[in-house]
Copies of this chain bind each other. A is one copy, B any other.
Amino acid sequence: MSDIDMIRAARDRIGNNLRRTPLLSAPALDEIAGRRVLLKAECLQITGSFKARGGWSAVSAIVPQIRARGVIAFSSGNHAQGVAHAAREHGVPAVILMPKDAPRAKIDNTRALGAEVVLFDRERDDRDALGAELAERRGLTLIKPFDDALVIAGQGTLGLELAEQAARAGVTEADVLVCCGGGGLTSGVALALEADAPGLRVRTAEPESFDDVARSIAAGEIRRNDRLGGSICDAIVTPQPGNLTFPILNRLCGPGLAVTEEEVLRAMALAFRHLRWVIEPGGAVALAAALFRPRDIVGDAVIVVATGGNVDGALYARALQTLEAPGTAA
């Protein structure tokens, strides 16, 4: 099955079990960006992020007798919730390994979705050994966060929707900015648009100092991040692009963009004011690039994927403080 056929098959399996998120805009954001900005509101997806798509795609594709034993995932956040939701809806157990220091809200939300959360100590425990032991003993199927063809296909369903929605909005040529971690969403969307909207060019958006994907695309080979800790955009900081995702990103995506944390916080606050959606830091990187890197973007319109909305209150409150700062009250 070709890549696009896998994405269409994932869409068929997802059916009406997840939301078709809207593509929306706000005049005030157009003004700041200096061009039309169309935002795909994936923070309004079930579980609050696009990860519900990949989770559903993967869980729904497992042979029923195997699936009945359950699934397992490693995640401190959105992938955990996506897999937990898909497992619950399929009536099968989910075990999620999360670091002890993961945000309390994400642990609570994952448990609320019915998953068994196994906490590990980042320092003392061997996460992979712990997972392998659990998977083997209980016959659980591992759902990887991005470097998995079924997960990529699931995330690609967002691209199918985007192609239709952009065409209906009269946009057939534009940069599409996607918040990028391991590249599962970005590569899936790029494959979908290659087939259904070839005038839309995908570009990655990342936080500065964690722009492994942009550097990898520029170099034509995989580059790693120097460090992994210390970003507010925790959801999209990964060591390097995946072995499956990188060749797709390298073939289909334009130059990557990187923004500062201050710009991410301001983008979150402007979304609060003008869209009334909650966007998490890792989900606001693409909007920040659209608003604050206008010269690096081509065309009269830009499309932004707002990938998720799971963020702690204290960090969100910090973002809102940027509305008080001079020059940002637009």
Contacts and interface: CB of A to CB of B under 8 A. Distances in A.
Interface of A: 19, 22, 24, 27-28, 31, 43-44, 48, 104-105, 108-109, 112-113, 269, 272-273, 275-279, 309-310, 313-314, 316-317, 320-321, 323-324, 329-330
In the A-B complex, the 4 residue pairs with the smallest Cβ-Cβ separation, listed nearest first, are A276-B309, A313-B320, A317-B317, A276-B278
Contacts of A317: 313, 316-317, 320-321
Contacts of A105: 273, 323, 329
Given A108-B329, A313-B323, A317-B320, 16 more contacts: A19-B22, A28-B109, A28-B112, A48-B276, A104-B329, A105-B323, A269-B313, A272-B316, A273-B313, A276-B278, A276-B279, A276-B309, A278-B278, A313-B320, A313-B324, A317-B317
A250 B22 CA distance: 37
A282 B56 CA distance: 36
Given A316-B320, A320-B317, A112 B31 contact: yes
B276 A272 contact: no
Nearest to A312: B323
Nearest to A322: B313
Contacts of A320: 313-314, 316-317
Nearest to A279: B276
